[in-house]
């Protein structure tokens, strides 16, 4: 690289057009400072995840924590929301890709969650260019002219920007600090914060984040320490950062209050990240005698998903925090009116349930879904920015309800197996090609939904699931169905690599923690 690199930092990725602006010596020094301060604690917390998983595999049942009872019984609230994060009735999400970011910011949604996580394939180019796109979005200079000559610029009024860095389990292998790859969370957070925090404040906004895949309040506490360190380093007041935590692991559902408490003045709310949550339920109990039915049957209205979302709303409102709903995966179509109508109907029903339950806002995956989500939430909220006054004190959720994964009428079918195989293949191939969110069979698929598909296949094969027609799902039957599904996908780029990855994920005896960990070794 042409510019100086701080002592102890190595850049292994190639120089890109955005490198000099994004990977400046000062920005890299900031990220290296975070890594040196927090890298060891992060590793310790990941080890703790492994220990907890082993205890559950040995039969321990998660419970609300005894030693944090004082938090649950204490009288405290999170800090009031900043003005541009008080009305979150519709939030659009999408990867940090230039055209989509402009479309999302212009979509009419109140918030845009710019995603470096589930929706982004973290190629070196995607993460570095993504930071440049974010920098331009903050300064409102983001624009694009397509090869066909179509111009994209920002409207006068745009959504509030919230950024989702990658989860604690991931590394950014193109940047090393003192001989180790840097934490992807610290890399994504650090670069965004360094380049934009001051600018955002001057513009009347702030550095706002979504925090993914936390498993417990100690991981939230680590984020809180990162925020304090980052704010102190740049001379910004503590409490400038605002973070909304995705409750998208089954263990985090037992520590929702503790997570808000750990983030103290930085806590903004919780989000019901349904897809990773389902994945986590399958994963954490993968070695026990629980068999989940076809993916399409694990809906938001099954008892354990109701218990989790009801508890989330009650917890948030008790503490003055926003409760944000999740992503209905139905994708509208501008080409097929029937698909479009089906998607709008399904999304409307999902948003009606959420707004009726007390959520203050929700996620949508596509600009054409913003109007329906807004309409549904407008009906419930009217002029009010949120419905935090609905305390939902009647909600009582026992640990057993969060852990009772039985689904009345649930079945594993050949169609369900084929669907999981095909989605696993198509999504992994797209991810390897640099796209982290894709529409497959008219549904949004991203890293979280794809995890469900491959973890179900593992579970069905390894726990002896029997299809509704009486056949067990053996490795041989899986191989046969996979060969047929692969043949249907013809010349899809990176298909063979995706098929090899899927085979190893579903056939190996041990359950792989995240599909993106082995897949990342194949990425540019």
Ligand X SMILES: CC(=O)SCCNC(=O)CCNC(=O)[C@H](O)C(C)(C)COP(=O)(O)OP(=O)(O)OC[C@H]1O[C@@H](n2cnc3c(N)ncnc32)[C@H](O)[C@@H]1OP(=O)(O)O
Give the Cα separation of 127 and 119 in Å (integer).
12
Residues 417-476 that bind ligand O=CC(=O)O (CB under 6 A): 448
The stretch near ligand X (CB under 6 A) out of 89-97, 227-235, 408-416, 493-501 is 89-97
Rounded to a whole number of angstroms, the minimum distance from the CB of residue 438 to ligand X is 5
Find which of ligand O=CC(=O)O, ligand X, Mg ion, none residue 261 binds, CB within 5 to 8 Å per kind: none
Q: Does 273 bind Mg ion (CB under 5 A)?
A: yes
Consecutive H or E run containing 392: none
Which helix (DSSP H) or strand (DSSP E) does residue 323 occupy? Answer: strand 322-327
The one among 191, 448, 473, 505 contacting ligand X by CB under 6 A: 448
Nearest residue to 448 (alpha-carbon basis) of 291, 274, 256, 302: 274
Give min distance, CB of 187 to ligand O=CC(=O)O, in A.
19
Q: Cα 475 to the chain's mean position, in Å?
A: 31
Q: Distance between CA 135 and CA 138 in Å, rounded?
A: 5
DSSP H/E element including 440: strand 438-440
Binder of ligand X out of 444, 452, 457, 481 (CB under 6 A): 444
| Residue 331 interacting entry, from ligand X, ligand O=CC(=O)O, Mg ion, none, C-beta within 5 to 8 Å by type | ligand X
Which long-range CB contacts under 8 A does 517-521 form with residues at least 24 apart? 517/169, 517/170, 519/428, 519/431, 519/432, 520/122, 520/170, 520/171, 520/173
Instruction: Indicate whether 165 belongs to the interface with Mg ion (CB under 5 A).
Output: no
**Which one of the listed residues 42, 164, 166, 274 is annotated catalytic?**
164
Give whichever of 87 and 445 is closer to Mg ion, judged by the CB atom: 445
Q: How far apart are CA 524 and CA 520, in angstroms?
A: 8
By CB under 6 A, the count of residues binding ligand X is 23
Out of 260, 286, 331, 402, the residue judged to bind ligand X by CB under 6 A: 331
- Note if 164 is an active site residue: yes
Give the up-direction half-sphere exposure of residue 226: CA atoms within 13 A in the CB hemisphere.
33
From CA 302, how far away is CA 54, in angstroms rounded? Answer: 27
Beta-bridged to residue 444, according to DSSP, are: 439
**Pairing outcome for strands 180-183 and 151-152:** unpaired
Helix, strand or coil, per DSSP, at residue 140: coil
Q: Give the span between the Cα atoms of 351 and 376, in whole angstroms.
A: 7
276 binds ligand O=CC(=O)O (CB under 6 A): yes
128 binds ligand X, rule: CB under 6 A:
no
Among 87, 97, 118, 294, binds ligand O=CC(=O)O (CB under 6 A): 118
Catalytic residue among 87, 118, 360, 446: 446
What is the Cα Rg of the chain in Å? Answer: 22
Q: Which of 39, 62, 94, 207 binds ligand X (CB under 6 A)?
A: 94
Please give the helix or strand (H or E) that residue 172 lies within, else none. strand 171-177
Q: Does 134 bind ligand X (CB under 6 A)?
A: no
Residues 227-266: x/- map of binding to ligand O=CC(=O)O (CB under 6 A)? -------------------x-x------------------
Residue 429 · residue 437 · CB < 8 Å: no
Selection from ligand O=CC(=O)O, Mg ion, ligand X, none that 423 binds (CB < 5 to 8 A by kind) is none
CB of 101 to ligand O=CC(=O)O, least distance (A): 18
The window from 152-160, 272-280, 396-404, 493-501 that contacts ligand O=CC(=O)O (CB under 6 A) reads 272-280
Distance CA 480, CA 476 (A): 6
Cβ-based nearer residue to ligand O=CC(=O)O, 195 or 274: 274
367 is in the binding site of which of ligand O=CC(=O)O, ligand X, Mg ion, none (Cβ under 5 to 8 A by kind)? ligand X
Q: Is 448 in the site for Mg ion (CB under 5 A)?
A: yes
Tell me how far, at minimum, the Cβ of 14 lies from ligand O=CC(=O)O, in Å. 30
Q: How far apart are CA 312 and CA 90, in angstroms?
A: 18
What separation in angstroms does the CA of 15 have from each of 18, 32, 130, 146, 171? 8, 19, 15, 23, 19
Q: Pick from 92, 312, 327, 506 the residue near ligand O=CC(=O)O by CB under 6 A.
A: 327
Written as one string, the DSSP assignment of 481-517 is HHHHHHHHTTT-TTHHHHHHHHHHHHHSSSPPS-THH
- Round to whole Å and give the CA distance between 385 and 87: 4
Is 446 tagged catalytic? yes
Contact set for ligand X, span 382-441 (CB under 6 A): 437-439
Give DSSP secondary structure letters for 246-274.
EE-STTGGGGHHHHHHHHGGGEEEEEE-H
Separation of alpha carbons 142 and 126, rounded Å = 16
Shortest Å, Cβ 109 to ligand X: 9
Stretch that binds ligand X, among 91-99, 455-463, 491-499, 504-512 (CB under 6 A): 91-99
Interacting residues with ligand X (CB under 6 A) = 92-94, 99-100, 103-104, 115, 118-119, 275, 327, 331, 334, 365-367, 437-439, 444, 446, 448
Catalytic residue positions, numbered:
164, 446
Interacting residues with ligand O=CC(=O)O (CB under 6 A) = 118, 246, 248, 273-276, 326-327, 448
């Amino acid at each position: 690289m042409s510019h100086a690199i701080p002592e102890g930092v190595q850049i292994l990725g190639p120089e890109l057009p955005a490198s000099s602006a994004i990977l400046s010596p000062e920005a890299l020094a900031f990220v290296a400072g975070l890594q040196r301060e927090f890298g060891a604690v992060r590793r310790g917390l990941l080890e703790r995840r492994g220990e907890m998983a082993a205890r559950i595999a040995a039969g321990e049942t998660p419970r609300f924590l005894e030693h944090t009872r004082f938090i649950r019984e204490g009288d405290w609230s999170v800090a009031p929301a900043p003005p541009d994060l008080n009305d979150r009735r519709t939030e659009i999400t999408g990867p940090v890709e230039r055209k989509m970011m402009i479309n999302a910011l212009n979509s009419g949604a109140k918030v845009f969650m710019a995603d470096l996580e589930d929706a982004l394939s973290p190629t070196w180019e995607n993460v570095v260019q993504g930071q440049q796109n974010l920098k331009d979005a903050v300064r409102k200079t983001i624009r694009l002219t397509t090869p066909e000559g179509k111009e994209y610029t920002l409207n006068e009024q745009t959504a509030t920007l919230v950024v989702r860095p990658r989860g604690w389990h991931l590394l950014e292998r193109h940047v090393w600090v003192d001989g180790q790859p840097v934490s992807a969370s610290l890399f994504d957070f650090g670069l965004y914060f360094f380049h934009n925090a001051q600018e955002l404040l001057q513009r009347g906004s702030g550095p706002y984040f979504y925090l993914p895949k936390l498993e417990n309040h100690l991981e939230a506490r680590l984020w809180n320490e990162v925020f304090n360190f980052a704010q102190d380093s740049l001379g910004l007041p503590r409490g400038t950062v605002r973070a909304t935590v995705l409750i998208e692991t089954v263990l985090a559902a037992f520590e929702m209050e503790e997570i808000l408490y750990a983030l103290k003045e930085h806590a903004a709310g919780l989000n019901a990240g349904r897809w990773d949550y389902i994945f986590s339920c399958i994963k954490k109990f993968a070695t026990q005698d629980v068999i989940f039915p076809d993916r399409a049957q694990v809906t938001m209205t099954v008892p354990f998903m109701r218990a989790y979302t009801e508890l989330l709303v009650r917890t948030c409102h008790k503490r003055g925090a926003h409760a944000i709903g999740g992503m209905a995966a139905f994708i509208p179509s501008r080409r097929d009116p029937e698909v479009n109508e089906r998607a709008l109907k399904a999304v409307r029903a999902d948003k009606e349930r959420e707004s009726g339950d007390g959520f203050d806002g929700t996620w949508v995956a596509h600009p054409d879904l913003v109007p329906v989500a807004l309409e549904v939430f407008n009906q419930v909220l009217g002029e009010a920015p949120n419905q935090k006054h609905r305390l939902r004190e009647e909600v009582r959720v026992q640990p057993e309800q969060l852990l009772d994964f039985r689904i009345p009428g649930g079945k594993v079918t050949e169609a369900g197996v084929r669907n999981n195989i095909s989605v696993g293949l198509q999504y992994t191939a797209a991810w390897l090609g640099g796209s982290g969110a894709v529409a497959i069979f008219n549904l949004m698929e991203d890293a979280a939904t794809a995890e469900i598909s491959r973890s179900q296949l593992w579970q069905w094969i390894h726990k002896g699931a029997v299809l509704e027609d009486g056949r067990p799902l053996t490795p041989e039957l899986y191989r046969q169905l996979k060969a047929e599904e692969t043949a249907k996908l013809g010349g899809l780029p990176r298909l063979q690599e995706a098929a090899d990855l899927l085979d190893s994920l579903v056939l190996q005896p041990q359950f792989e923690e995240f599909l993106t960990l082995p897949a990342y070794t194949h990425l540019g």
